[in-house]
Chains A and B, each alone.
Chain A
Amino acid sequence: MYKDLKWKIPLILGVLLGAVWLSYPLKEKIALGLDLQGGMHLVLEVKVEKAVEASLDRIADDIKRDITEEDLEVDRVKVLFSTRQVNIRMVDNLDLPPVKTILGNYPFLSMVSEDSDGLGLVYQMTLDQVKQIEQNAVSQGLETIRNRVDQFGVSEPTIQAQGENRILVQLPGVKDPERAINLIGKTARLEFKLLDEENSLQKALAGDMDEESEILNQRIVDKETGAVTKEAFLLKKRTVLTGETLTGAEVRFDSDFNEPYVALNFNSVGAMIFQQVTRENIKKRLAIVLDDNVYSAPVIQDEIAGGRAQITGRFTSEEARDLAIILRAGALPAPVIILENRTVGPSLGQDSINKGITSIIYGGLVVVAFIAVYYKLSGIIAVIALFLNIVLLAGALAYFGAALTLPGIAGIILTVGMAIDANVLVFERIREELRIGKTVRAAIDAGFSKAFRTIVDANITTFIAAVVLFQFGTGPIKGFAITLCIGIAASMFTAVFVSRTIFDGTMSQRKLDKLSI
């Protein structure tokens, strides 16, 4: 019987050493969850429908251009976003057949109907195409955000798609959440637009506005008070140049006022367009618009060749740096909104760790003291098993790379309570067997074997609940579920197998007539 000890003791020691090796030093081996180390957890939703709308807008422009290039006179090309339709109106009904031929080049549009007056055609974007655009918007968005975060410099960020159109971003230890949110979430659609200087802004503000124009604001934040003022600009709707042609963006400092600005470089196509626009519009104002917010609207002094431009706007150097990062990483294909934001500051995280450890220590001490007094020497064995249990738990957490969270600490505390439960069940059973007159050895045998099944049955229900919790939970909750699962498994090993081995080991040394239990 005690021959088993020959492999049991080395096995236990091996497991113990393995767990220590895996988890030592704790600070390096066990990852902390965002709630303990501080950090930010964001769930973003990509407004994929905006990407579809943008695509429809571009298609309408392309169709208009294609038709005009064929020397046909187009009345208008109108987009109906709700039905994803493009309505093409011609002036002459003889032009419809050639238009149909042109539309043949747009395989992702299918014809829906012809207007009853014979002057118009209605096309609709296919569902496959819509799906494709939506998927691209999410995957490109993910890529862009990853680029931005990489340049921002956060260690071990998590950026992944979640569901159909959500993106999960986790930034451990981020110091300035506001900056991070701005950096991640800005669409960063950079557009250059000419000011509409022929019409009056006052009239436009009163509602009398040309169809080709729009009003956009410049948002000015007072650095002292944080107060926001807005200045309206009347712009021509047509975008002359976008950020897509950018090849670089970096922070420079104005030599006169030492104010930071962002210097832009365009590729050859962009440079050409920029040169042409500046040449044709000297003494006019060109607005630099980012996400529908006017940054500046300088007067074009001269033709600008070489594809360089700059964005000024009373930035702090941090703001300028972040803007440069966003522009370099590129625009998001569709805007994002924040669905969920959980941010914990580093000091609160540390506070949680301290309190968690305090409660483990106090809870542990009370339980250990109680069990040692109540079951005497046998109680000490239970305490040894309990200690081993915690070491195993740490080892397993390190092995699975599971992050320790505040609820996870609570899971450890519960494990301490439950591991003792298993010992109590065994010891009570042993006492019972002793009472009916069994010898010490027989009582230990019977106690362990009879209690074993009960322990398994009793723990499995908690285990089932923990597994379900793991499936549904996020972040901190998952951490709790993992510690609970591991803790239950480890407690069955320590309370049954290890305690038993220690009992057997003691028995093999000397014959006991009385058991200290």
Chain B
Amino acid sequence: MKIISSETHFDFMGKIKITLAISGLMILVGLTSIVMSGGLKYGIDFSGGTLVQLQFKTPPNIEEIRGGLKSIGLGESTIQEFGTKRDILIRVQRSEEKLEAVGSKIRNSLGKKFNKQDITVERVEMVGPKVGSDLREKALLSILYAVIGIVIYISWRFELRYAAAAIIALVHDVWVTMGAFSLFDKEFTLVIVAAFLTIIGYSLNDTIVVFDRIRENLRRKGKNTLAQTINISINQTLSRTLLTSGTTLLVVLSLFFFGGEIIHDFSFALLVGVLVGTYSSIFIASVFLVFLDSRRRA
């Protein structure tokens, strides 16, 4: 069985302007969204704060929760449904360094309007501002280290220009995914950084498959130009690029739909990352390989 014909002859290199326009637009939309919403939206892991997940026996009225919370003065809080109408997520900016358990404090404050027995504290996450800034630094460093490691590896296995092209594709993927996060108003947390690192690693899978084929075809030294060779290589590997991404996409979709609310943003990031990563392997990485090559010759 075949989905993609083994003999495709799409002219990928000829459509450079279109793909660059699409990528440019995606990045622009993402950036605009990030700027409009005043920067990336940090979750409590990075900004510090408290998050409490409660489960009610019957769906509560959010306004009543808000009223109940006011009495303990936790500062600005957001209250939202989490997956079902009975699950409520409360986020407050403040982090409590004292020993009082925030979860039960909130539960107690709701005791007047609701029956306390009907409320279960499912999860409490409190991150102090100091830890928040530590984690922020660590997260940035880890992304940096991962990129450096990958650059070293690719330059060792291929050539520096392949590494450069791969990094451009990778930065492209991260930017677009970040934009999507901002667009869908999702928060950056530790788990999302993990997803980004995975995207960084995984989005290169397909790129490397294409690069590998380009290298193989270049060794044969036909009379084709580099652009032509690249185009042939992309066509030759097209079906496996789409298949490998397709199978990964299938499992990520499963995670997205069945994995539950807690891991939802994580799977969202992977979903976007895998899609963008596939796109960039075909359209972005190779384009820049030609671009870098032409500069070298000029």
**Given A345-B123, A414-B270; A359-B258 close (CB under 8 Å):** yes
Give, as a whole number of angstroms, the nearest-CB distance from B40 to chain A.
18
Question: For the complex, is B68 an interface residue (Cβ under 8 Å from A)?
Answer: no
B201 and A461 contact, CB distance less than 8 A:
yes
0/1 per residue, A473-513, Cβ < 8 Å to B?
11011001100100000000000000000000000000000
- Say which one of A66-74, A306-314, A317-325, A423-431 lies at the interface with B: A423-431
B96 and A417 contact, CB distance less than 8 A:
no
**Given A43-B131, A367-B251; A181-B257 close (CB under 8 Å):** no
Cα A477 to Cα B145 in complex, Å, equals 17
Question: For the complex, is B75 an interface residue (Cβ under 8 Å from A)?
Answer: no
Which residues of chain A are within 8 angstroms of B104 by Cβ–Cβ distance? 177-178
**Given A363-B255, A468-B197; A340-B126 close (CB under 8 Å):** yes
Question: For the complex, is B142 an interface residue (Cβ under 8 Å from A)?
Answer: yes
Question: For the complex, is B209 an interface residue (Cβ under 8 Å from A)?
Answer: yes
Which residues of chain A are within 8 angstroms of B30 by Cβ–Cβ distance? none
Cα A375 to Cα B141 in complex, Å, equals 42
A346 to chain B: closest residue by CB: B122
A226 and B248 contact, CB distance less than 8 A:
no
Question: For the complex, is B289 an interface residue (Cβ under 8 Å from A)?
Answer: no
0/1 per residue, A449-465, Cβ < 8 Å to B?
00001100111111111
B263 and A410 contact, CB distance less than 8 A:
yes
0/1 per residue, B203-240, Cβ < 8 Å to A?
01110110010000000000000000000000010011
The B116-138 residues at the A interface (CB cut-off 8 A) are: 120-128, 130-131, 138
B243 and A424 contact, CB distance less than 8 A:
yes
A343 and B123 contact, CB distance less than 8 A:
yes
Question: For the complex, is B150 an interface residue (Cβ under 8 Å from A)?
Answer: yes
**Given A339-B130, A413-B251, A465-B146; A374-B103 close (CB under 8 Å):** no
| Most chain A CB atoms below 10 A, which of B99, B146, B243 | B99
Cα A57 to Cα B262 in complex, Å, equals 49
Which residues of chain B are within 8 angstroms of A481 by Cβ–Cβ distance? 194
B123 and A344 contact, CB distance less than 8 A:
yes
Cα A72 to Cα B176 in complex, Å, equals 77
A182 to chain B: closest residue by CB: B99
**Given A356-B259, A461-B205; A343-B212 close (CB under 8 Å):** no
Question: For the complex, is B200 an interface residue (Cβ under 8 Å from A)?
Answer: yes
Instruction: Choose among A410, A416, A420, A454 the residue that contacts B259 (Cβ–Cβ < 8 A).
Output: A410
Question: For the complex, is A125 an interface residue (Cβ under 8 Å from B)?
Answer: no
**Given A363-B250, A363-B253, A410-B267; A340-B208 close (CB under 8 Å):** no
Which residues of chain A are within 8 angstroms of B263 by Cβ–Cβ distance? 352, 355-356, 406-407, 410
**Given A363-B253, A410-B259, A464-B149; A338-B97 close (CB under 8 Å):** yes
A181 and B145 contact, CB distance less than 8 A:
no
Question: For the complex, is B254 an interface residue (Cβ under 8 Å from A)?
Answer: yes
Which residues of chain B are within 8 angstroms of A460 by Cβ–Cβ distance? 153
A469 and B194 contact, CB distance less than 8 A:
yes
What secondary structure prevails in chain A residues at the interface with B? helix
B99 to chain A: closest residue by CB: A185
Question: For the complex, is A466 an interface residue (Cβ under 8 Å from B)?
Answer: yes
State how many residues of chain B have any CB contact under 8 Å with chain A. 77
Which residues of chain B are within 8 angstroms of A45 by Cβ–Cβ distance? 130
**Given A178-B101, A373-B1, A410-B267; A355-B258 close (CB under 8 Å):** yes
Which residues of chain B are within 8 angstroms of A376 by Cβ–Cβ distance? 1
Question: For the complex, is A358 an interface residue (Cβ under 8 Å from B)?
Answer: yes
B194 and A480 contact, CB distance less than 8 A:
yes
Cα A461 to Cα B98 in complex, Å, equals 43
**Given A364-B251, A414-B252, A428-B240; A458-B131 close (CB under 8 Å):** no
A352 and B262 contact, CB distance less than 8 A:
yes
B137 to chain A: closest residue by CB: A472
| Most chain A CB atoms below 10 A, which of B197, B208, B267 | B197
0/1 per residue, B263-274, Cβ < 8 Å to A?
100110010000
A348 and B247 contact, CB distance less than 8 A:
no
Cα A35 to Cα B102 in complex, Å, equals 18
A348 and B122 contact, CB distance less than 8 A:
yes
B260 and A465 contact, CB distance less than 8 A:
no
Question: For the complex, is B115 an interface residue (Cβ under 8 Å from A)?
Answer: no
Give, as a whole number of angstroms, the nearest-CB distance from A261 to chain B.
23
0/1 per residue, A337-379, Cβ < 8 Å to B?
1111111110110011001101110111011001101111000
Cα A145 to Cα B60 in complex, Å, equals 39
A374 to chain B: closest residue by CB: B1
B194 and A473 contact, CB distance less than 8 A:
yes
Cα A327 to Cα B124 in complex, Å, equals 28
Give, as a whole number of angstroms, the nearest-CB distance from B228 to chain A.
19
B240 and A484 contact, CB distance less than 8 A:
no
A422 to chain B: closest residue by CB: B244
Question: For the complex, is A471 an interface residue (Cβ under 8 Å from B)?
Answer: yes
0/1 per residue, B7-49, Cβ < 8 Å to A?
0000000000000000000000000000000000000000000
Question: For the complex, is A56 an interface residue (Cβ under 8 Å from B)?
Answer: no
Cα A457 to Cα B200 in complex, Å, equals 14
Cα A484 to Cα B266 in complex, Å, equals 15
B99 and A186 contact, CB distance less than 8 A:
yes
B247 and A465 contact, CB distance less than 8 A:
no
Give, as a whole number of angstroms, the nearest-CB distance from A90 to chain B.
42
Question: For the complex, is A27 an interface residue (Cβ under 8 Å from B)?
Answer: no
**Given A410-B263, A425-B209; A359-B153 close (CB under 8 Å):** no
B99 and A338 contact, CB distance less than 8 A:
yes
**Given A178-B104, A343-B123; A424-B260 close (CB under 8 Å):** no
Give, as a whole number of angstroms, the nearest-CB distance from A224 to chain B.
10
Cα A354 to Cα B45 in complex, Å, equals 25
Instruction: Choose among B194, B201, B259, B267 the residue that contacts A477 (Cβ–Cβ < 8 A).
Output: B194
B240 and A468 contact, CB distance less than 8 A:
no
Cα A463 to Cα B208 in complex, Å, equals 14
B208 and A458 contact, CB distance less than 8 A:
yes
Question: For the complex, is A421 an interface residue (Cβ under 8 Å from B)?
Answer: yes
Which residues of chain B are within 8 angstroms of A477 by Cβ–Cβ distance? 190-191, 193-194
B6 and A435 contact, CB distance less than 8 A:
yes
A450 to chain B: closest residue by CB: B216
Cα A343 to Cα B107 in complex, Å, equals 15
Extra contacts, 9 of them, besides A359-B255, A418-B248 (Cβ < 8 A), are A178-B101, A181-B100, A343-B121, A359-B257, A367-B250, A414-B270, A420-B248, A459-B205, A473-B190
Provide a sorted-by-A list of 13 A–B residue pairs whose CB atoms are within 8 angstroms. A186-B99, A340-B126, A342-B125, A359-B255, A363-B252, A374-B1, A457-B212, A461-B150, A461-B153, A461-B202, A464-B149, A465-B200, A473-B194
